[in-house]
Each structure stands twice: as structure tokens, then as C-alpha cells.
Amino acid sequence: MRVPVFCCGRFTFVLTRPLVMGILNVTPDSFSDGGRYVDRKRALAHARQMRADGADLIDIGGESSRPGATPVAESEELDRVLPLVEALAAENIALAVDTRKPAVMRAAAAAGAAMINDIGALSAPGAIEACAQSGVGVCLMHMQREPMTMQAAPVYADVVADVRAFLVARAEACVAAGIARECIAIDPGFGFGKTLAHNLELLRSIGTFVATGFPVVAGLSRKSSLGAITGRSVDERMPASLAAALAAVARGVAIVRVHDVRETVDALRVWRAVESGI
Ligand code: 7PJ
């Protein structure tokens, strides 16, 4: 049997165990760690700690996409993200850059980023081409509407079928434009234009996304759905986030995007030991 892989620039991940992508938000206003890592030294230290804790990838975001967030200028986003990419890529850390802007994608790839993580699924004109030309891995995420308005009143005919069809269509558009199939991951975009019921249905049925053959990314860490279920504030959602990550990997998710890397790595190690005896 062929071993599934996810190709990201100079990194090739063998998907025989779930991967952990650690979140590094260098924004003043992200919902859970906004402002904490704007200082470059602190951001670098946090990235290195996540790597030491077992993160396979680090996702650097210079534009907040929390509900109601306002867009950031390209120059500002580049200033926030590029120095970190340059420094951490030199330490051979696999980096994703969370951006919707083709110019940021190109600059990030040139500075050594391995992957582009786009909550807009490479919908900006020139985004697919920017990624195709640089050989990076891509994560295509589904979002209904825009961060400003997405949580107003999300409606779907069939959330699982709608989101899946959208992601497969975006993935095929990427393949047609020259992005290698093994470089494409998909993500249902928990919390992006979804109610709690939508998020739960997507997670319950995430195997439908896994069945497309594209590696699936799940980002549930500290999200408000977990707060709605547990009644916990953002700072108290780590155990809930671990439960959500386990529910995702148990259904075949390849990559979990998390804030709490050390705890998630431990939880996944126990899960794997049970599953495969290692
Ligand atoms: C996601 C993301 C997600 C992917 C954010 C937060 C909100 N990228 N960027 N998937 N969420 N691929 O950090 O919780 O779920 S921003």
C-alpha cells in the first residue's frame, strides 16, 4: 500500500500518525492569544517552545480572522510575519503562513515557508498561481461569508455536503492550476460561518472529508463552540480542545491546529499507543 504523504516545499510529511500544527498569532487582536506574541523575541521563543514540545508545523498568522476582525494592510502583515519566517526557517522548522494575500504568500514562500494556510481557500486573484509557482503545501479552508459578517446567521442546505463540495472544487481548481495533489490539504473551517450544530455535524462527519483522499486539517482549539458546550472561558478550554482533537484524529484527521502543543502531543501519543501499540 502507498503511504500517504503531504508535501510542503522542502518538507514531506508521512501521514502515518496525526500531525500537530502549533498556532503562533502575531496579531494584536486574536481571540485567544491576541497581543501576547507581537513582540518578536517572545514570538520566536514561543515558536521554539512549540517545536520542542513536538509541533510538526508552526502556523504563523499576521492577520486576525476572529469574528468581526478588520483586515490588515499588506505591508503591516509582511512586517509582522516575514522576520519570523526568516528566523525560524533557518532553524529548519516547517512553517505555515496563515494569509489570504498573494503577495504575502509569495514573500513567505521566498523566505522559507513550507505551507500556505488560507481561510479563503486561495480565492484571491493570483493566490493559486502564487502557491503553484512556489511549490508550497496549501491548506484550503471553508468559510461562509467574511470574518466581519460570518457569524450573523449561517445557513446551509446540508452543511457537510455543501462544505465538502466547496473544498473538493477548490482542490480540483488548484490541481488544474498546477499545484501537486500531494501538496493540498482541506479544512472544514470550524467556527467560520457555522453554528454550534453545524460545527458538531462537521466534526461527527469529518470522515466524509477524509474519504476525499486529501489530508484533512481540523482547527477546534479553544473555539467558542467548545465554550458553548463547557461553559468555559477561552483560557479554560484546553481540556475541551484535547477532547475535540482526539475526536478528530479518531475519525482520520491528519493535522490538528492547536494552541496547546505539549498537551495535545501527549494526548495523541496515548491515543496512538492504544491504536497501534507503540
Ligand atoms: C483556523 C485557521 C482553522 C485553518 C484560524 C483560531 C481562529 N486556519 N485559522 N483552520 N482558524 N486552517 O485561531 O482559532 O480552523 S483563526
Nearest CA, atom 16, ligand 1: 65
pLDDT of residue 28: 80
How do residues 173-202 score in pLDDT, each as one tens digit? 999 999 999 999 999 999 999 999 999 999
Atom of ligand 1 nearest to the CA of 141: 12
pLDDT over 80 at 271, yes or no: yes
The mean pLDDT of the chain is: 94
Q: Which long-range contacts (CB under 8 A, 24 or more apart) does 265-273 make?
A: 265/20, 265/53, 265/54, 265/55, 267/242, 268/17, 268/18, 268/20, 271/246, 272/17, 272/18
Residues flanking ligand 1, CB < 6 Å: 23, 65-66, 98, 117, 119, 139, 141, 187, 189-190, 217, 219, 223, 257
Pocket probe for ligand 1: among 27, 50, 66, 141, the residue whose CB has the most ligand atoms within 8 Å is 141
* Residues forming the active site: 223, 257
pLDDT digits (tens, 9 = 90+) for 221-266: 999 999 999 999 999 999 999 999 999 999 999 999 999 999 999 9
- pLDDT bin (cut points 50, 70, 90) of residue 32 is low
Residue 190, pLDDT score? 98
Instruction: Say if residue 30's pLDDT is above 70.
Output: no
Position 76 confidence tier, pLDDT thresholds 50, 70, 90 = very high
pLDDT recorded at residue 234: 97
CA of 107 to the centre of ligand 1 (A): 21
Helix residue spans in the chain (DSSP H) = 40-52, 74-89, 102-110, 127-134, 159-176, 196-204, 206-210, 224-230, 238-250, 261-276
Ligand 1 pocket test: which of 36, 37, 57, 65 has the largest number of ligand atoms within 8 Å of its C-beta? 65
For residue 119, pLDDT over 70 is answered with: yes
The pLDDT assigned to 150 comes to: 73
Residue with the larger pLDDT of the pair 235 and 154: 235
Euclidean distance between the first and final Cα of the chain, in Å?
A: 20
Top-confidence residue, 151 or 166:
166
- The structure's pTM equals 0.96
Ligand 1 atom at shortest distance from the alpha carbon of 191: 15
Query: For the ranges 36-40, 43-47, 133-137, 209-213, which has the lowest average pLDDT?
Result: 36-40
The residue whose C-alpha atom lies closest to atom 11 belonging to ligand 1 is 219
Share of the chain above pLDDT 90, in %: 86
pLDDT at 23: 97
Share above pLDDT 70 across residues of the chain, in percent, rounded to a whole number: 96
60-75 pLDDT, tens per residue? 999 987 777 778 999 9
Nearest CA to ligand 1 atom 5: 65
Measured CA distances, 194 to 8, 62, 142, 144 (Å): 29, 23, 10, 8
